Structure 1
Amino acid sequence: MKIWKILIADDHPMYRKGLRTILETVDDMEVAGEATNGEEAIALCERESPDVILMDIRMPGMNGVDAARHIKKHYPDVQILFLTMHQDDTSVLSALKTGARGYFLKDADKDEIIRAIRAVTAGEAIFSAEVAARMIDIATRPVSRLDQFSQLTAREKEVLHYMAEGYSNAQIGAAMDLTAKTVSNYVTLILNKLHAADRTEAIRMVEKAKNEI
């Protein structure tokens, strides 16, 4: 019988303990280790070669998104399942762009967690109902209001979309997997191309376009 090695990465001791207790009831799963931040998760991944990592997003030091990005780059066969309290657009998008196969909220029950682990080990993608609804909302938001900005590239339109949603440069960078400097450069290009005096004016132009649809 194949024994799946599971690594837990979360900075809350009681939550780690709860996950360990759940996994210890499953015959074909074992806890390969526990990490309290991204750096520890990477180190344990290198040493223990887990099959699945249960990863929180916000941890002290290196966060879960940065750790997941590193792990998927260097250990692509390791499956990552995010278990977090956060379901905002930035968290969901930045997590999924790492190559993670699942995203659940921390209030998921034992059966949901076990089912999610089995799904990602089978190569499937799985998400909680709340996160799936969020993804559908993101995917179906109207973007046609940006079509009139033909002078912008597709990437610049994406940045402008996030600007109009009220994202900061740091949040845009997390959502698009870009550095803060790159985002700042995009914003400058957008303002120049739109002949906008500042960020506020550019956002106002987007809102005007939205109202004209």
Structure 2
Amino acid sequence: MRPIRVLIVDDHTLFAEALAARLGREPDLVILPIAADARRALALTSTERPQVVVLDMTLGAESGLDVLDRLRESHPDVRVVVLTAMSELDALLQAVRRGAVGWLSKTESAELVARVIRSAARQGGWIPPEVLGEVLRRLTGGTGEEERLPELTPREREVLQCMVDGLGRAEIAERLGLSANTVRTHTQNLLAKLGMHSALEAITLAMRAGMRPRD
């Protein structure tokens, strides 16, 4: 498997440099130059093509959520993992709804950060286990979105079922006999039809509509 290109976006220089140095010792991770603000983050994402962006929620006067929105708009394939000192559940929920695939505290170990980066690159994600139940409860409040599932094509429903089964893009491609690019297209289309920004939201909606993981 080719190395995972990782961009750290954090204006705390000492923390960011220490994290970059530690993650740089992982043989499967390539750590790109650090970005301390939104402008450099977007520029480096365009030129260096990271697969995973590790994003702080506060970048000086800038909001990490705004940076997340701009990253998702200009580079929808990039996987964003939030690494922050913030602990507010509302901020976590906003980040997930806006497309983040992971949320980590800065007090977590570098080993866990590396594992979550690898999971994100494989189309997985991470929510702290101690708040996962509450996050899912809030994300699954009935809002009538389930009615959008019939708008999906049969193939999009198959892809969504595979997502509910916990498969990443490569595994979905193998199961359905499709290319990874085709799976990506189906995923983007079904997210758009459902009005969702992340796979976690789509999976939550699907399970609320009655889909369950298959054995």
| Band of TM-score, shorter chain | 0.5 to 0.7
Given residue 12 of structure 2, which amino acid in structure 1 is its aligned partner? Answer: H
Q: Which residue of 1 aligns with 2:59?
A: 59
Question: TM-score with structure 2 length normalisation?
Answer: 0.61
1:167-206, aligned counterparts within 5 Å?
Answer: none
Q: Secondary structure at the match of 1:126?
A: coil
Q: Secondary structure at the match of 1:87?
A: coil
By how many angstroms is 1:24 displaced?
1.3
Q: How far apart in 2 are the matches of 1:138 and 1:98?
A: 15
Q: Which residue of 2 aligns with 1:49?
A: 49
Q: Which residue of 2 aligns with 1:14?
A: 14
Q: Secondary structure at the match of 2:59?
A: coil
Matched, 1:4 2:1: no
**Contact kept? 1:89, 1:138, Cα under 8 Å:** no
Question: TM-score with structure 1 length normalisation?
Answer: 0.61
Gap runs ≥5 in structure 2? 145-215
Q: Secondary structure at the match of 1:26?
A: coil
Q: How far apart in 2 are the matches of 1:130 and 1:107?
A: 15
Q: Secondary structure at the match of 1:65?
A: helix
Q: Which residue of 2 aligns with 1:115?
A: 115
By how many angstroms is 1:26 displaced?
0.6
1:2-151, aligned counterparts within 5 Å?
Answer: 2-136=2-136, 138-139=138-139
Q: How far apart in 2 are the matches of 1:110 and 1:31?
A: 13
CA spacing shift, 1:19–1:133, aligned 2, 3 Å = farther
**Contact kept? 1:54, 1:81, Cα under 8 Å:** yes
Q: How far apart in 2 are the matches of 1:39 and 1:55?
A: 13
Q: Which residue of 2 aligns with 1:170?
A: none
Identity %: 26
Given residue 67 of structure 2, which amino acid in structure 1 is its aligned partner? Answer: A
Given residue 112 of structure 1, which amino acid in structure 2 is its aligned partner? Answer: L
- RMSD, aligned CA: 2.2
By how many angstroms is 1:41 displaced?
1.2
Given residue 68 of structure 1, which amino acid in structure 2 is its aligned partner? Answer: L
**Contact kept? 2:4, 2:118, Cα under 8 Å:** no
Q: Secondary structure at the match of 2:99?
A: coil
- After TM superposition, the structure 1 stretch with the greater mean CA deviation from structure 2, 89-98 or 44-53, is 89-98
Q: Secondary structure at the match of 1:50?
A: coil
Given residue 43 of structure 1, which amino acid in structure 2 is its aligned partner? Answer: A
Number of residue pairs aligned between Structure 1 and Structure 2: 144
**Contact kept? 1:8, 1:16, Cα under 8 Å:** yes
Which of the pair has the greater relative contact order for Cα pairs under 8 Å at 6+ separation? 2
By how many angstroms is 1:134 displaced?
4.5
Q: How far apart in 2 are the matches of 1:131 and 1:44?
A: 32
Given residue 126 of structure 1, which amino acid in structure 2 is its aligned partner? Answer: W
By how many angstroms is 1:6 displaced?
0.5
Given residue 32 of structure 2, which amino acid in structure 1 is its aligned partner? Answer: A
